[in-house]
């Protein structure tokens, strides 16, 4: 009796389907909204620092802004707003890595650039000390890599929350120690708020224009995410 040819490997184990466009949109749209909020906060921060400090934190929780507003708000509101805002994008980047794996990591490399080999080093270290890196560096790098390596969601969220709370708390205490110099900066903002806001808006607009012209704008990068992740294979990224 003639032997039947073996079935192709791909027939026995079909390739995993990529997430649909709607799923990716649920990740991309909130990230774009957060990027826009950050740009707005950065542009008008001279006005917000003294007049609406928590709004500034909600828009753009950069370390320098947290240090500047820490002396004018109570600890618990400061901690709550800063932690929620800082963590807002982290589950989205985790999902990006979880759903797209290596393609998500490669997108992160292109978005962040790797002139000094930081991304490559982080990838190497993550295989050895992933939980430690999620705790110490709760941001884009660690979140995408945590998802790509299939770290358990509960562990990821616990480490991410603990790391973010720790960083924000340390910034608040640091601001208490350097209250004098930071207070002087705030008074300068208060005395020149309108002028500094106009300058800041102009500089932010110029920076965004330059980034867009060079094809390195944050919004552009996120908006092109589908094409980059799927390799541009058709309107549905090659999915049936």
Domain spans in the chain, listed from the N-terminal domain onward: 17-228
Q: 36 and 219 in contact (C-beta within 8 Å)?
A: yes
Q: List, for residues 132-146, the tens digit of each pLDDT value.
A: 999 998 888 889 999
Q: What is the pLDDT of residue 239?
A: 34
- pLDDT tens across the length of the chain (240 residues): 454 554 444 444 344 556 767 778 788 889 889 989 999 999 999 999 999 999 999 999 999 999 999 999 999 999 999 999 999 999 999 999 898 888 788 777 777 665 556 667 777 888 888 899 999 988 888 899 999 999 999 999 999 999 999 999 999 999 999 999 999 999 999 999 999 999 999 999 998 888 777 666 566 666 666 666 655 443 333 332
Contact yes or no for 187/40 (Cβ under 8 A):
no
Are 107 and 232 in contact, with CB atoms under 8 Å apart? no
CA 54 – CA 208 distance, rounded (Å): 24
Q: What is the pLDDT of residue 118?
A: 67
187: phi then psi, degrees, rounded to nearest 5: -65, -35
List CB contacts of 58: < 8 A, sequence separation 6 or more.
Answer: 37, 41, 81, 85
**Residue 5 carries which DSSP code?**
P
Instruction: Give the pLDDT score at 12.
Output: 40
The pLDDT of residue 111 is 72
Contact 168, 86 (CB under 8 A): yes
Q: Which two tokens stand for residue 186?
A: 């705030």
Surface-to-core class of residue 209, CB atoms within 10 Å of its CB (0-12 exposed, 13-18 middle, 19+ buried): exposed
């Amino acid at each position: 009796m003639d032997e039947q040819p073996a079935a192709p490997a791909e027939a026995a184990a079909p390739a995993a389907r990529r997430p649909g466009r709607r799923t990716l949109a649920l990740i991309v749209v909130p990230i774009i909204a957060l990027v826009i909020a950050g740009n707005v906060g950065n542009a008008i921060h001279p006005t917000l620092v003294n007049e609406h400090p928590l709004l500034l934190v909600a828009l753009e929780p950069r370390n320098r802004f947290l240090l500047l507003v820490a002396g004018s708000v109570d600890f618990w509101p400061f901690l709550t707003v800063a932690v929620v805002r800082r963590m807002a994008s982290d589950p989205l980047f985790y999902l990006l890595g979880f759903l797209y794996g290596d393609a998500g990591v490669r997108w992160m490399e292109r978005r962040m650039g790797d002139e000094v080999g930081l991304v490559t080093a982080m990838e190497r270290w993550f295989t050895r000390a992933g939980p430690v890196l999620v705790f110490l560096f709760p941001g884009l790098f660690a979140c995408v890599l945590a998802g790509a390596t299939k770290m358990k969601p509960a562990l990821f969220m616990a480490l991410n929350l603990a790391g973010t709370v720790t960083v924000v708390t340390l910034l608040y205490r640091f601001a208490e120690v350097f209250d004098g110099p930071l207070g002087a900066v705030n008074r300068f903002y208060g005395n020149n708020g309108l002028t500094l806001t106009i300058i800041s808006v102009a500089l932010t607009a110029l920076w965004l224009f330059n980034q867009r012209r060079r094809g390195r704008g944050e919004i552009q990068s996120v908006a092109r995410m589908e094409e980059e992740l799927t390799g541009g294979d058709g309107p549905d990224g090659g999915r049936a």
